[in-house]
Amino acid sequence: MTTPPAAGLPAPPPLSPHRDALFLDLDGTLAAIRPRPGEVAIDPPMRAALRAASAALSQRVAVVSGRALDDVARLVDMPDLCLAGIHGLDRRLATGELRRATPSAGLERARAELAALGRDEPRLFVEDKGLGIAVHFRLAPDLAAVAERRAREIAGRHGLLLQPGKMVFEIRDGGADKGSALRDFMAAPPFAGARPIFVGDDHTDEAGFAAAAALGGHGVLVGEPRATAAAHRLPDLAAVEAWLAAVGDAG
């Protein structure tokens, strides 16, 4: 799939309380990226803006992250919000019901090999998220090529998906991405029939942008311009917060 350059993408229009459903990435969208994933937190003003948006949109809001579902729930800390973890493999629905996938045998074998990689290269941070395992090289950018080669070998050997992200390679079972997470949510209340808006900063969010556009909505890229399927752009987290907080003003 080719995507046009993002230069000159306009800011998104105000959210429409009657029409829109909102899907948001977490890291780099609702919370600033930190050297280690465990250091990330959503600031109180951003959480307040998210809560206001959820109320204005009649709960048609979901956070869709590559993190483990329990980790997303802890960071978001809003019990009634819909969530997706591991790019949609795990979801918390509007009813509170949890839909969890089961790791494949291949993922279990890869888990052991990736743990060994973390011991061989202590400057790589191997994060076991249950349904996915991430090899972070943010603390050692010089190991990017090593991280990619080893992660690619292991993913290939066990028939798993290799997902590149910002300073990370992630290995997981196939079958879900942020686009499928959006489509799954949109198939049921309270989302069904709404116009989906997907907001995110990373390459994994492109599937969400494309899925939103296919259902009559659009993507909102957060950060610097790049080739993207998003139709709109917000430059940083402060702009995301202001846009969320303004939802009630749209009428």
- Note the residues at the interface with Mg ion (CB under 5 A): 25, 27-28, 201-202
Tokens describing residue 191: 């989302």
Burial environment of residue 112 by CB neighbours within 10 A (0 to 12, 13 to 18, 19 or more): exposed
Q: Any catalytic annotation for residue 25?
A: yes
Residue 160 or 237 having the CB closest to Mg ion: 237
Min separation Cβ 25 and Mg ion, Å: 4
The partner residues of 222 in beta bridges, in order of sequence, read 234
Min separation Cβ 19 and Mg ion, Å: 25
Residue 28 or 217 having the CB closest to Mg ion: 28
Residue 33 or 143 having the CB closest to Mg ion: 33
Specify the DSSP element, H or E, that contains 240. helix 237-245
Q: Pick from 245, 249, 243: which is nearest to 11 by CA? A: 243
Residue 24 or 110 having the CB closest to Mg ion: 24
Helices (H), 20-136: 44-56, 69-76, 105-120
Min separation Cβ 165 and Mg ion, Å: 8
Phi-psi region at 157: left, alpha or beta (left = phi > 0; alpha = psi -120 to 50):
alpha
Which residue's Cβ lies closest to Mg ion?
28
Min separation Cβ 74 and Mg ion, Å: 17
Count other C-beta atoms under 10 Å from residue 63's C-beta: 25
Tokens describing residue 165: 């992200």
Tokens describing residue 62: 């979901």
Catalytic residue among 20, 25, 27, 177: 25
The catalytic residue positions are 25
